[in-house]
Amino acid sequence: MSEQSMVPIDQILPPQLPLVALMGRPIFPGIFTPIMIGNPADVKVIDDAVSGDGLIGLVMLMHENESPAITDLYKVGTAAKIVKRINLPDGGVNIFISTLKRFRVKKTLSPSNPIRAAVIYLDDEEDATSEVKALTRALISEMKQISENNPLFSEEMRLNMINIDHPGKIADFIASILNIDKTEQQKILEILNVRKRMEQVLVFIKKEQELLRIQKRIQREINEKIEKSQRDYFLKEELKAIKTELGMTTDAKSSEYQRFKERLDAFHFEGEIKETVDQELEKFSLMDPNSAEFIVSRNYLDVIVNLPWGEPGPESFDLAAARSVLEADHYGLKDVKNRIVEYLAVRKLRKEALGLKSIGSIVCLAGPPGVGKTSVGRSIARSMGKQFFRFSVGGMRDEAEIKGHRRTYIGALPGKIIQGLKITKAKDPIFMIDEIDKMGSSYQGDPASALLEVLDPEQNFNFRDHYLDLPFDVSHVFFIVTANTLDTIPSPLLDRMEVIQLPGYIDTEKLEIAKRYLIPKSLEKNGLKKQQVKYTQESLLFIANGYAREAGVRNFEKNLDKIHRKLAKEIVEKLEGGAQGPADQDAGKPAPAGALENAGAEKFSVDKQRIAEYLGKPHFPEEAVKKADRPGMSVGLAWTSMGGDVLVIEAASIPGKEGLTLTGKMGDIMKESAAIAMTIARKLGTERYGIGAEWFEKRHIHLHIPEGATPKDGPSAGITMATALLSLIRNKTIADRLVMTGELSLTGKVLPIGGLKEKTIAAQRNKAKHIIIPKQNLRDLDEIPDHVKKGMEFHLVERFDEVLTLALPD
């Protein structure tokens, strides 16, 4: 070493070097290190160098390449002396090198393996200032801190770092052992100015220290958590042992186990239920309270112990009290109330006279919105003194909502049936399932199919919820389901129910409902007293006919709320204005508390004029009564899920090619009825009224039903369409205040229809005086209350000729 220091190193190193590509990091000058060479081309370069002067150039690859060229290498590398060479079994070699000096590639002599180049050796740019000395001390000091906290730095590394006397070599040594990116190391290798190199290395030391600080903090936090959990575990075990010695209950888990065991033993389970519950309880006792399975098992046992497994208690109700509750809660609905009282009588007779257990019932309340289906269900529960639980299945698409989720899923819950029993804590409650006609189905299952088991008296005594997975008797439950229409309810499900139809209300019924229920309820809701607001008979009829002509009373109640809100506003504004006076300077000052307390002194009489002022112009003015006032028009009756409705049929003819155009969004069945009506009209026009065939051949007939955005279907408008066509052909207007409904056959027979009660109510709302119906609907006519039929004459017909005699008399 001393001999080399006597001779400049540039004179020892040759101007040309064979280059070896480094796949990993660059190697700095002043380092003694082993290198593994596996590439056969590089092995040949090593063999040639060993047989010569033993000098090679080490240059890092820019991009990994198995057969690199000189263009793939960086321009700056390190000259090295091969000290020792060891052959490896796989054909590679392991060499020990001593790196000497930086160089830059000057010229390419051989561009590919073996790569050879002319090089220029690079000297450090010395800067012997106090700043360099300070940087040297800083580097050594900072590296001592890193090496003390990092076991990867050996004692030999620390000694080497201290013994290096050249600032540039210290920077190179530290850069070679720091865990930094190889491209950053290459940049340091290319810095010739010693001070700048040391500054750059110091930056990387600081980054390494920051990483070490973060690593230590994370390690400390993890150790603290582990120590705390271990400490808690040992303390709990010690506490458990102490309590066991003292004969005390050991922990919360044990108390929960004891609670579950006591309550489960009280049920006296047998068979499958006892076996399953005992297994679950034993498994619960062996679980670690910190495990996820412990929570699942505890929730499952909690559901079991909170279900009403015992037999239901005795029923204490009498029919007179039940009927009085129904009468107090609802006006009208005579048929509905009678059917409900009949059900209650059967339950009472089975229990008291025959000694049989009470069985659940499945009742379907069907009718348009706002007629009181849900409130009837609540009244039934009140009349029987039963717990009431309501849930809606409208829009439900997952059968698990009914039958529960399996416990294998995270967050699994029992279905609505078991949930309701758990909430009511009764085995014979009243369950109301709302909007059963609006259920859907999806890839998650069909809720309607899941309800088949629930609503079947022959199966539901052994109902098995997916979550509970135990047989549970729900045959004592009184199920009430509600629907607007029966058409969308699957037939197997509908067969399990006793259907009770709730028709819409006529004007006189709405008046009584408003007086008895809606007005007191709305007054209380809006802060008014009962004696404060008076309505005339005429004003209530005006609301019913002009603003709330639908089958139910929901819009009627909304309009009353609107009127009462405006009255409340008038009262408060008047009181605040009176409290201030004209000379009061505090504008907007609130009225005194006493003034508002006396607000009930003022009384209001709401007449027709005041209603128009509060509610605006009527939505259904008098002229909105649907009637046929010109040839080619007739008025029919239709049934919808919203109740009965009045349908106007319009027919017109224009000169042109023979044909029939149908508009008004008719369904397929209605289009077929229109075709039959056209055939009958043409036949009768020719044979009975002497209309020539040329009249039909030279005219195109257009049949239309207004409100074209609303879908319409069904056969019951057959006679109405035929009447409109004959009215057009004869150029004659049909009789006044006449409406009709009936299916028409191709032979002229008038066939029966459905929904007569709802259609009659619609005719009553439309001020009709005469209704033509099929003779076969006589049985349905007898079921319609007299007050609904009051003021109208019903004409029962068998053939279409009779319809023409009434609608278009000769």
What is the rounded distance in angstroms from the CA atom of residue 680 to the CA atom of residue 720?
12
673 labelled catalytic: no
Distances (CA, A) of 128 to 29, 132, 392: 20, 6, 88
Q: Which residues contact 194 (CB under 8 A, 6 or more apart)?
A: 124, 125, 126, 127, 132, 167, 168, 171
What is the rounded distance in angstroms from the CA atom of residue 431 to the CA atom of residue 434?
10
**612-615 own/partner pairs: CB under 8 Å, 24+ apart:** 614/562, 614/563, 614/566, 615/543, 615/547, 615/559, 615/562, 615/563
DSSP tag of 628: -
- Estimate the share of the chain in helix, then strand, then coil, as percent rounded to the nearest 5: 50, 20, 35
User: Which runs of consecutive H residues, i.e. helices, occur in 73-166?
Assistant: 130-149, 155-163
332's torsion region: left (phi>0), alpha (psi -120 to 50) or beta?
left
Please, are residues 728 and 632 in contact by the beta-carbon 8 Å criterion? Answer: yes
Please, are residues 673 and 712 in contact by the beta-carbon 8 Å criterion? Answer: no
Q: What are phi and psi of 279, to 5 degrees?
A: -65, -45
Distances (CA, A) of 320 to 342, 343, 384, 579, 731: 12, 13, 11, 54, 60
527's torsion region: left (phi>0), alpha (psi -120 to 50) or beta?
left
CA–centroid distance for 498 within its chain: 33
Please, are residues 792 and 763 in contact by the beta-carbon 8 Å criterion? Answer: yes
What is the rounded distance in angstroms from the CA atom of residue 681 to the CA atom of residue 698?
16
757 labelled catalytic: no
Handedness of CA 758, 759, 763, 766 (dihedral sign): positive
The closest alpha carbon to 760, from 648, 637, 642, belongs to 637
* β partners of residue 483: 366
Q: Which two tokens stand for residue 262?
A: 């006591």
| DSSP strands (E only) in 683-778 | 699-704, 738-740, 743-744, 750-751, 770-774
Handedness of CA 455, 461, 462, 464 (dihedral sign): positive
What is the rounded distance in angstroms from the CA atom of residue 800 to the CA atom of residue 677?
10
Catalytic residue among 379, 539, 716, 727: 716
What is the rounded distance in angstroms from the CA atom of residue 282 to the CA atom of residue 288?
13
Neighbours of 424 (CB within 10 A): 18
Please, are residues 751 and 745 in contact by the beta-carbon 8 Å criterion? Answer: yes
H or E, element range at 83: strand 76-87
What is the rounded distance in angstroms from the CA atom of residue 343 to the CA atom of residue 430?
13
What is the rounded distance in angstroms from the CA atom of residue 566 to the CA atom of residue 549?
22
Please, are residues 703 and 721 in contact by the beta-carbon 8 Å criterion? Answer: yes
Q: Which two tokens stand for residue 700?
A: 């195109």
* β partners of residue 390: 432
What is the rounded distance in angstroms from the CA atom of residue 103 to the CA atom of residue 20?
13
Q: What are phi and psi of 765, to 5 degrees?
A: -65, -25
Number of residues assigned to the chain:
810
Catalytic residue among 101, 373, 416, 759: 759
Mind telling me the catalytic residues?
716, 759
